[in-house]
Structure 1
């Protein structure tokens, strides 16, 4: 018997001059302007030999909106759910974008993916999102020139408050959520606060992209395959304050596993250039391609979900933004990136790692930024 994945995605570019949320009951299409279009949805569940994937993307013409388009073929090829998982893709968009949505359906059919069993294009959010078990939130409002930090936060608070409402109405009680759009940690926190029926351990944000970037930098430095490096850590916020930590990372050598710090033998590079390279990688890519890092972000989203659902390899951890329980002295009440292992669809923070003075300082600095974002987001709710 085939197991099917139902994916609800909008990868079109619909641009609307004005949009009244009140006319669209679910609140999913909460925002649109001349620069911002509608949404991508995707849900995933393993139940009665069925799997459902739901993803949301509020698109912008330039940098944003590419992630969903990059994600579609990865799911159809089995990158997210494995090479033996047939998929049925359900794409959702608003009525004015129905024709463009059908064009994406044509592209998916023309790609002739062996795992892609069917494609459905719909404008009915209930049909698209019923019983969602995993939601990948790949859209938000980007900061534009002249915008204050609070302006951007206010837009995203409104977006994720509305998305939380949609999940509350249509998702399964055990829905797993991955927030990709920036500010990812605080977007995830707002979603958590306005979707109280979803367990707090089921709401995460993406720091796997930063984790993968750190692996890539180490493998390049040592001239080894990236799969030979493991157990880097991204602590904190998906921002320039994140702390890429290699103090517990190892690399496979001809003489067995060796610590990354010993293998590189260059503390100055590891404590300075390596950290800033990972922290600034997104900005560097935008400068180079004039577009954001969509392909690597989509790949990281697949990695995040695959490991969360199917488990991490024994002895290996990954980085996920999760709701802090006070581990490592990080205050509860924020979504913070920790090292985690996954088993049976659940993540667990890796405890007992030694934290040196430099790490403590950087971990606290990124936590401070997240607390400031939380206060700012709550002030936006008061003003709303």
Structure 2
């Protein structure tokens, strides 16, 4: 058995965490040979609920769960952290403008960024789930200058999972038979889910999805719109935002980062743009990546059609606007 690693979950008393924590404790994220110490961070009013969550974790009686610390203190939570799931964020309320949402989240992610900078391992892997995830990750990174920018990521894996599931349903195949769907851009309704490089395995052979689904109009309209609006559709049906599926996606994101992607396959992660595909530098933009030895690389050389470029421009513009508004708050 390896030495236990410290795994932090913020917003630990919330619904996403409730579904995520079992995955972490059971070894589905970091592997069956990796014990973990859970560091559960939330605000003081949630400590009573968090106590109940800890009781349930204890009652799981899982061998990989070495230690549990519930806390409202960022220093205690982030000390020697190896992996971090930032689930907690200020949700957008009815009538709230984006600048107000960003201002509220700057306060949250400033505190967490500073604590990460001081107390976490310098190779810590951070995935931001709390929305607006891309720009929250950018803010957090700003306040943790000693941690490499590439260690801060935003989750768009939920969008990727949604896209794979919709394609698999449309094709009548298992979800695992659909690969290399790409989510470009922001985790918002401007994101661009692309099937241009997606493959489907059928009858022991692999074919481009665009060949098997010979309906360019469906792929470029209904498919795109359903993925863009899926979160809103879940809220309308459930009266609450996605929790179980978001937790699964967060686990998927970190598992691939920790263990690596399969040969020939790539996944979507919100990462700091290096200018690839003409995307403005230094925004957190969802891109296709491959991962090996806990390091991701942006997939290069993918063809971008004029239609796709128009979609990338829209989502990049939104992220630049978010960055500008966040920077205005940071300077106050």
TM-score tier after normalising by the smaller chain length? over 0.9
Give the secondary structure class of the aligned counterpart of 1:276. Answer: helix
Alignment of 1:131-280 (within 5 A): 131-254=80-203, 256-280=205-229
CA contact (8 A) 2:7 2:37 kept: no
CA deviations 1:320-365 (Å, max 9, x no partner) are 0000001001110211011000000100000001111111110111
Separation of aligned partners in 2, 1:323 and 1:90: 26
CA contact (8 A) 2:11 2:41 kept: no
Shift of 1:167: 0.8
Residues paired across the two proteins, number: 332
Among candidates 319, 329, 332, match of residue 370 of structure 1: 319
In our comparison, the structure showing a higher alpha carbon Rg is 1
Separation of aligned partners in 1, 2:40 and 2:139: 26
User: CA RMSD of the aligned region, Å?
Assistant: 1.8
Among candidates 307, 310, 317, match of residue 361 of structure 1: 310
Select between 213-222 and 104-113 the one with higher mean Cα deviation: 104-113
Among candidates 9, 14, 35, match of residue 55 of structure 1: 9
Q: Are 1:316 and 2:265 matched, yes or no?
A: yes
Which structure has more relative contact order (CA 8 Å, sep 6+)? It is: 2
Gaps of 5+ in 1: 4-48, 60-64
CA contact (8 A) 2:159 2:183 kept: yes
CA contact (8 A) 1:58 1:140 kept: no
CA contact (8 A) 2:266 2:290 kept: yes
Gaps of 5+ in 2: none
Separation of aligned partners in 2, 1:96 and 1:295: 23
Distance 1:253 1:71, change over 3 A: same
Alignment of 1:86-165 (within 5 A): 86-92=35-41, 97-122=46-71, 125-165=74-114
